Chain A
Amino acid sequence: MNIFFVLLKKEIKELLTRQLLLTIVATLLVFQLIGGLVGSHNKASAARSGIVLLDLDRTALSGRVTKALGGGKAKLTLYAGGGIETALAAPELGAENSFMVIPAGLEGELKAGRPASVEFYSRFKKNASGLGPAMSASRIRRAAQAASAEISAWLLERNAPGLAPAFLMDPAPAREFAVVDGRTAEVSLAQVIGFIQSQTFFFPVAVFFIVILSAQMIMTAVASEKENKTLETLLSSPLDRRLLVMSKLAAASLIAALLSGAYMLGMRSFMAGVTGLGADPSVAVAAAGPALAKLGLMLTTSGYLLVGLSVLFCILCALSIAFILGIMAEDVKSIQAMMTPLMLAYLMPIFIDLSTAHTGLKVLLYAIPFTHAFMAPQNVMMGNYSQVLWGIAYQAAVFAACVTIAARLFSGDALLTMRFRFPGSR
């Protein structure tokens, strides 16, 4: 058997403990459970509460508004027991949070050409938590828009007979076009922004988990080998030191991929439960898919491969840097402190906008190998393939340099004598 696989097998056995497997399973279950619970709670509260309508006008107009609201998503409850004070105090409406009042005389005022108001009341409970208040506000907003449209239509029918109210209300509707790299497609701006954001924010966060998990794992693996003196035994063996380095890097990458896969799977079912959109978020942008493809924003297979390669080298860079930090760590306890510079280096490109950064900052950000992985999806979408390829070449160079340094440290006294302490760490 190849000695590399013997080393890899041992590293995996050391890293993939029963506790770690239980953690993975527990993560999946907790996400599934919380997602399911939050989802069903939201559905139940949506079904439970809707809008309570108090029609104090009782005219043709108020009847028309009531009918229009009845066709909406929210459950409509008509209350005829009195004014708003009575409705708010009514025990049977105790679970309701959204109230709409069509005041007496609304139709008369409008007929006379005087402005009048429809009133909306939102009841906030002191112990309100979760998505309840936000859902209530959204219900009120939709009801207000529907009522306003219906009242406008009624007024237009009266004052401009023969003309379609819909035409009068929006005689020249806006058509939105996006232009990307000279290509134009008709698509909502919100959809384009949503899609780009999903690529530029969700993606780095997903990679962040892999990088941090694997970096932490490899640093712990090196530091614990130093602490337990198992490393001294290995170093006195006739084994190529580069094999030791590479087997640790490979094992940490494999376990990190497994962990982050589990995390992302859990997150996916959690979000599906919370948003109620279903497990596949791409469905949300599917309607805009052809337009996004026309703009060149949808990644092709080769585009995905390029992005994947950039992410792979991003992880390898993080692992090799973490390996060096692990060599410098005094013991396993000091790992958390040693992780800080790596995490800061990772987070910088996420929170700084490269397009507006000044030259010095840009150079610094591009010197961080992780930046190139974050930029890869955008660059591929925009057709900047050469920039992606240069980024990958730079990442590969950083990785090779770090592995060389790690292997050199592994071959010298530094591994046993180097002790790096953060000020104040014990």
Chain B
Amino acid sequence: MIKALELTDLVKKYKNFEAVAGLSLTVAEGEIFALVGPNGVGKSTTLKMIATILTPTSGSVKVFGLDASRDAHAVRELISYLPEEAGAYKNLTGREYLEFMAMVFLKDKARALAAAGEGGLLSGLGPRLGDKIKTYSKGMARKLLLARAVMIKPRLAILDEPTTGLDIVNGYEIRKTIKALAAGGMTFVISSHNMGEIEYLSDRIAVINNGRLLACDTPAALKARFATDDLEEVFIKLTQ
């Protein structure tokens, strides 16, 4: 098994507050791995450390064997990160945004144009790609951002609440896209509060609370452990 991600005793402190308190887990290549937990327990902080934009206070993050602190630049070549409630540049059109981001990540015009073309298809926005992003609905913008995150074919995609605020149809389309890309070998680490989505998407789930890992297994194994068919019940029993 190739380890796409390996967290070892990961700690992040903000002054006196410990947001992440010794988290250890591994994610295999091609897996869809979900990080779940109540609000403010360190999920987004963990994702930001994996995305190299926050530095761990102690412990380590390894992406395909590369240390996210020491080899941050090399790690950035392998990942793509979609922040929670991220925005896009409002005065660019959807197409311009995809082309710009593709150039930023791939730095080669031909590859960038090809990736942006694929991103356009993935977004499903069709002719609206020619419109400025400020005219988009929340769902359209989120689809564009997700397309941006995966169009460059990262080896590890980090998605923080990818379907929050989306309607049923848009959420369903995004989940289908993630599933299809994972089948193609892309690794996903996602965070979400939607347990139905988590159950549908994830190969394995890590439940965290107060920055600590409470459980990490497949949805089926977790349900069996707590003798229930409902993943939400598992979540509640673990976090209360």
B53 interfacial by beta-carbon distance below 8 Å: yes
Which of chain A's residues have a CB closer than 8 A to the CB of B104? 3, 6-7, 234, 237, 239
Question: From A243, which residue of chain B is reached at the shortest CB distance?
Answer: B104
Residues of B within 8 Å of A3, CB to CB, are 103-104, 107
A230 touches B92 (CB 8 A): no
Q: Is the CB of B92 within 8 A of A235?
A: no
Q: Are A416 and B101 in contact (CB under 8 A)?
A: no
Q: Which of B73, B80, B92 contacts A14 (CB 8 A)?
A: B92
Most buried by B among A7, A10, A239: A10
Do the beta carbons of B76 and A238 come within 8 Å of each other? Answer: yes
Q: Does B51 contact A (CB under 8 A)?
A: yes
Query: Is the CB–CB distance between A10 and B92 below 8 Å?
Result: yes
Cα A228 to Cα B86 in complex, Å, equals 6
Confirm or deny: B88 has a beta carbon within 8 angstroms of a beta carbon on chain A: yes
> Are A232 and B53 also in contact (CB < 8 A) when A10-B89, A14-B89 are?
yes
Q: Which residues of A lie under 8 Å from residue B88 when comparing CB positions?
A: 228, 230
Whether the pair A229, B101 counts as a contact (CB closer than 8 A) is no
Residue A127, interface by CB 8 Å: no
Q: Assess whether A302 is interfacial by the CB under 8 Å rule.
A: no
Partner of B86, one of A232, A238, A416: A232
User: In the complex, A239→B88 CA distance in Å?
Assistant: 18
A190 vs B54: C-alpha distance when bound (angstroms): 63
Q: A233-B148, A235-B53, A239-B76 are in contact. List 9 more A-B contacts (CB 8 A).
A: A6-B104, A10-B89, A10-B92, A228-B88, A229-B86, A234-B104, A236-B158, A238-B77, A238-B105
Say yes or no: A230-B54 contact (C-beta < 8 A), given A3-B103, A13-B96.
no
* Cα–Cα, bound, A85→B55 (Å): 88
User: Taking each of B52, B87, B88, B96, which has the highest tally of chain A beta carbons within 10 Å of its own beta carbon?
Assistant: B87
Report whether B81 and A232 are in contact in the complex, using a CB–CB cutoff of 8 Å: yes
A340 in the interface (beta carbon within 8 A): no
Bound together, the chains give a CA A359 to CA B237 distance in angstroms of 71
8 contacts between A and B (CB under 8 A): A6-B103, A10-B89, A13-B92, A229-B83, A229-B85, A232-B53, A238-B73, A238-B105
**Is A417's beta carbon under 8 Å from chain B?**
yes
Please determine whether A233 and B100 come into contact, CB atoms closer than 8 angstroms.
no
Which residues of A194-233 have CB atoms within 8 Å of chain B's CB atoms?
Answer: 227-230, 232-233
A233 lies within 8 A of B91 (CB): no
The reply on A161 being an interface residue by CB < 8 A is no
Could you tell me the distance in whole angstroms from the C-beta of A229 to the nearest C-beta in chain B? 4
What CA separation (Å) do A85 and B104 show in the bound complex? 83
How many Å lie between the Cα of A232 and that of B45 in the bound state?
12
Cβ-closest chain A residue relative to B102: A6
Q: Is the interface of A mostly helix, strand, loop or mixed?
A: helix
Q: Quick one: given A232-B48, A233-B83, A236-B51, are A1 and B103 in contact (CB under 8 Å)?
A: yes
Measured CA separation A230–B145 after assembly (Å): 10
Interfacial chain B residues near A413, Cβ < 8 Å:
54-55
Any chain A CB within 8 A of the CB of B109? yes
* A410 smallest CB distance to B (angstroms): 10
What residues of chain A lie closer than 8 Å to B73, measured between beta carbons?
A: 238
State A17–B90 Cα separation when bound (angstroms): 10
- In the complex, whether A412 has a CB less than 8 A from a CB of chain B is yes
Bound CA span A82–B51, Å? 94
CB-nearest residue of chain B to A6: B103
Question: In the complex, what residue of chain A is closest to B86 when comparing beta carbons?
Answer: A229
Q: How far is the CB of B4 from chain A (nearest CB, A)?
A: 16
B142 to chain A, nearest CB (A): 12
- Residues of B18-53 whose CB lies within 8 A of A: 48, 51-53
A417 to B57, CA, bound (A): 14
Q: Say if the beta carbon of B79 comes within 8 Å of chain A.
A: yes
Whether the pair B100, A10 counts as a contact (CB closer than 8 A) is: yes
Of all chain B residues, which has the CB nearest A239?
B104
| B82 neighbours in A (Cβ, 8 Å) | 233
The reply to whether B103 and A230 contact each other, CB–CB distance below 8 Å, is: no
**5 smallest A-B Cβ distances: which pairs?**
A228-B87, A236-B81, A238-B76, A229-B86, A236-B51
Question: A414 to chain B: closest CB distance in Å?
Answer: 10
Interface residues of A in 1-39 (CB under 8 A from B): 1, 3, 6-7, 10, 13-14, 17
Interface string of A388-421 (1 = CB under 8 A from B): 0000000000000000000000001100110000
Q: What CA separation (Å) do A416 and B14 show in the bound complex? A: 12
Note all chain B residues with C-beta closer than 8 A to A239.
76, 104
